[in-house]
Amino acid sequence: MTNSKSRKYFGTDGIRGRANAYPMTADIALKVAMATAKLMKRENSEKHNRVVIGKDTRLSCYMLEQALTSGFLAMGMDVVLTGPIPTPAIAMLTRSLRADVGVMISASHNKFEDNGIKLFGHDGYKLPDEIEQQIESWIDNPDLTTTDLPQPAEVGRAKRMDDAVGRYVEFAKSSFPRGLSLEGLKIVVDCANGAAYKVAPQALWELGAEVIAIGVEPNGKNINKDCGATATEALQQKVISEKADLGIALDGDADRLIMVDEKGTRIDGDQLLCLLATRLQEKGFLKQNTVVATVMSNLGMERYLKSKNIELLRTPVGDRYVVEKIREGNYELGGEQSGHIIVPHFGTTGDGLIAALQILAIIVEQGRKASAVLSLFNPVPQILKNVRFEKGAKPLDQKIVQDEIEQAEKSLNGSGRLLVRPSGTEPLIRVMAEGDDANQVEEIVDNLCAVIGKAS
């Protein structure tokens, strides 16, 4: 794996930053499209190339969509525009339309001021690091916008895809067992005022549920604002006030899933992964009795899976690394505590709606309340805090920080875990500790954050 920090534009999940500020500008978006098109056309020079572009509901998506479209058209690629749609839908449509590349304009769970560009290959998987590096090498090349341009008759065409939402709804519904129905379930779904504001309520309703939808009034500035998978308080309250059977929370681009049981208890990705793993194991579908997760997944999850003779393989943080490990070992399930859940049988990337439908199928089959189904293990105390640092600073290289980390690991003495890492998308150092002693864990995190703060 390539260290994202060694790259200029791409991080762990595409290019991301504050909208209309470098590098998330219309100019860079134009160059990203032209650079990507140049590579795609070299690999497939004998065909007419096609790109699918989707977006979430951020105000800046209009700007970036137009810039990307112009760049691809200028290089002779046809563009299919889907409008607001989940990230996994772009992965699916790239394959379905036999496109050369798919683009999702989204900063996922980030606030509306941020935006990002995610690139998918023709197979629906996010582009590998080496391809992203080739794109980077072209973005700043002064010859990019002046050489190898098509003749006037060879520039691309753009068209809107009117049925993109319907296609994805049918795709998602096809993952739900045909013999089952959601009839009799009252479900609150929070779409984070994001990309799934149409598709998620529609799919659940068509499968028979009584749907109460919140976070479905995007205005360009309210995506992820006090709603969705990263802020579930409104959903928890709504589930209780409506006496609903459960709640579903998606994030801005709908590749994450967090659930809420009928008591208003928040259920994270670790619990959902354990439920899916044990269900797949029972049916004989859990390949090699292995689940892939990241270094952030709770120690309690690892202990639970071990009790079921299921091996947990850990990767760096980022769903792309989970997907890489899944493909490498031909595994059947992986994900993150944050709610990215990848079931390769149904898709090539995290898909909040499809993951929710798999969980709902289990609840329907068991005929029990969500609270009796969704919580399988008691998580050990885990604390995560962030320390912001100035651009260019390298606090983790400071000896005082390294010494504090070493001391913290010694104090845990095998009874817990410590993880200190830079964010792949923001200028933050993330400090996570977990262990059986909650007071010790909190003290370790607070002390480390203080030391890192001084070194920043």
Residues annotated catalytic, as ranges: 108
Q: Which residue has the tokens 């920080």?
A: 401
Please state, in angstroms and as integers, the Cα–Cα distance from residue 352 to each residue in 27, 221, 347, 367, following that order.
32, 22, 11, 22
> Which tokens in the block code for residue 129?
């690091």
Give one DSSP letter per residue of 350-411, joined into a string: --HHHHHHHHHHHHHHHT--HHHHH--S-PPPEEEEEEE--TT--GGGSHHHHHHHHHHHHH
On the CB side of 220, how many CA atoms lie within 13 Å of its CA? 6
To the nearest 10 degrees (0 to 180), the angle between helices 352-366 and 269-282 is: 60
Q: Which residues pair with 399 in a beta bridge?
A: none
Beta carbons within 10 angstroms of residue 227's beta carbon: 25
The reply to whether omega before 23 is within 30° of 0 (cis) is yes
Name the nearest CA neighbour of 251 among 311, 181, 200, 324: 200
Q: H or E segment at 318?
A: none
How far apart are alpha carbons 377 and 303 in whole angstroms?
A: 9
User: d(Cα 194, Cα 131) in Å, to the nearest integer?
Assistant: 29
Quote the tokens at residue 284.
Answer: 């004989």
Q: What strands, in cross-sheet order, belong to the sheet with 257-261?
A: 210-214, 186-190, 246-250, 257-261, 266-267
Question: Using CA atoms, how far apart are residues 391 and 21, in angstroms rounded to an integer?
Answer: 15
DSSP state of 152: G
Q: How far apart are CA 199 and CA 127, in angstroms?
A: 25
Residue type, position 111, single letter: K
Give backbone dihedrals phi and psi of 189, rounded to 5 degrees, phi first: -120, 130
Cα 272 to Cα 133: distance, rounded to the nearest angstrom: 34
Contact status, residue 132 vs residue 36, Cβ threshold 8 Å: no
Calpha distance 353→339 (Å, rounded): 11
Q: Are strands 257-261 and 266-267 parallel, antiparallel or unpaired?
A: antiparallel
Q: Between β-strands 341-342 and 334-335, what pairing exists: parallel, antiparallel or unpaired?
A: antiparallel
d(CA 308, CA 289): 9
